[in-house]
Chains A and B, each alone.
Chain A
Amino acid sequence: MKLDTPRIRRIIAEHNLHMCLECGKCSSCCPRFISGKQYSPRMLAQKLIAAQPEDRAYIETSVWDCLTCGQCQERCPSGVQFVQMILDMRSELAATQGLMGYRTHDGALHSWMRIMTSPEIRQNRTQWIGPELKVKRHGLQAFFVGCAPYFDVFFAGLGVQTLSIAKDGIRLLNRLGIEPVILSEERCCGHDLLWSGDRENFETLCRLNYQEFKAAGVEEVIVSCPECYSVLSQFLPRVVEGCDLKVTLLIDLVNRAAAAGALEFAPRQGVVTYQDPCRLGRQAGCLAPPRELLERIPGLELKEMADHGLGALCCGNNAFINCDSYSKRHQVQRLKQAHATGAGLMVTACPKCMIHLTCAMKDPRQEGSLAIEVRDLASLLADHIR
């Protein structure tokens, strides 16, 4: 493989890599670098620009090592779009060389996502919807469930219940008088295929989902998962020509309703802390709504972790690739930060944060010292609907 192909040169130029000052702010805040991994965004940028043949192995590894959390991009004074560059490089390396990074869980999640690209499958994915939840098959507003039913089975050993996020999301919507459409043939949003470089299957999933939305008459999709939100709002319109879907974040919707007085919450005593998901905080800029919502529960005190908001630490994994001991090291650091706040509950807004951080808590060598209850914001709110 040659490194200075016109396509790679274009990726470098498009994402401002030539503007790099070599100041090193990116590496000094990179969670991978801080936890001791031989990975540095600054060095990767330099090596990509220099395109020396001996750097090939370094580049090919580093492109997959990134967590795509966006801390570096946040601090970069030159506006280098590092995360987008990583995404494009992964697509390029996957397409030209078949690289796909080391897939955690042997790629099981990527497997079921690829299985979903088959137009012929008839899924049984809505059996968890009981009579207490009001949903429709056809209508203007849909709720996107995502991979929750699958996660709960696959990660049964962890004891996470991501499906409850979907149920609680629907409960919140029902309380606001919205009876959402739930698609029986909804596919995975494809986030993990996109971020592991599998562009072809990702685009197939986008098209299939769009067809399903249109067939059900949907004009607005309400999403609770930040990764699904990022894909449906940013990437799907680039894949599907003439896409006219309105994508709304569940917590934005709930927060607006609560601000307008349409929703009140029952009190709960205690201290909580909030884990900002990367796709929600840094990438979608949604930092205030979750905090405002937590404040709307009377008696609840929010204590921030040492790193929060735009500087929040990632949960340690991206697209289920390259989970390693360095991921674990910085997950442990994150959980220690959570404990340091004195909170009894860690609230997050992304099922992946919940899965990865719960997994880190189960480390037998930590002897349960990191355990802390983790709940999704939607679930916490739904439990306190008045």
Chain B
Amino acid sequence: MAAINLLGIACNWSPFACYNAAGQAAMELPPGFRLMRVMCIGRINQALILRAFEYGADGVILLECFDEDCRYGPGPEVGHTNVARVRRLLHFLGIGQERLLEKAFAANEKEALVRALWEFAEQIEELGPNPAKPRQEREAS
């Protein structure tokens, strides 16, 4: 089976602390997983999530803080709204809303974060490749 492309978008604070701790503890991450760090998940809009799928991501997971932990205020709430809308767009497009997920973590939950990534990777592997992969990638595989 062709390798899957997973994109994680992580808030710099709690989720990235987990990711960092997981790295220091040498915990294994799913193959094909790439992480993009932003200062707050509120920075991510519908366009940036859609573009990941346009460029060939098979799954996107937003790693965010709990609502009450946000350093800036409404970050995770903005994330919820955007994820809800983009999931509907993905459903219309036939890409499937299951390919977009959001999960919140506290700063000490590295095991939970790594587990969530593996579960997500398994789920996406079952779904197979994103049907909207760019032409160049489709031709290469």
Please list the residues of chain A having a beta carbon within 8 angstroms of any beta carbon in chain B. 105-108, 111-112, 114-118, 120-125, 149-150, 153-154, 156
Contact = CB atoms under 8 A, between A and B. Distances in A.
A106 B48 contact: yes
Contacts of A156: 85
Interface residues of B, number: 22
The B interface, classified by DSSP as helix, strand, loop or mixed, is: helix
B50 interface: yes
B93 A106 contact: no
Interface in B48-62: 48, 50-51, 53-54
A154 B89 CA distance: 8
Nearest to A107: B47
Interface stretch (B5-13, B65-73, B111-119, B129-137): B129-137
A371 B91 CA distance: 33
Contacts, number: 67
A106 B45 contact: yes
Given A118-B133, A150-B89, A124 B47 contact: no
Nearest to A157: B81
Contacts of B93: 112, 115-116, 121, 123
Interface of B: 45-48, 50-51, 53-54, 85, 88-89, 91-95, 131-135, 138
The A interface, classified by DSSP as helix, strand, loop or mixed, is: helix
B47 A150 contact: no
Contacts of B53: 111, 115
A120 B131 contact: yes
Contacts of A123: 92-94
Contacts of A114: 54
- Give the 5 A-B residue pairs with the shortest CB-CB distance, closest first: A106-B47, A108-B47, A111-B50, A121-B94, A122-B94
Nearest to A125: B92
Contact of A115 (B46, B91, B132): B132
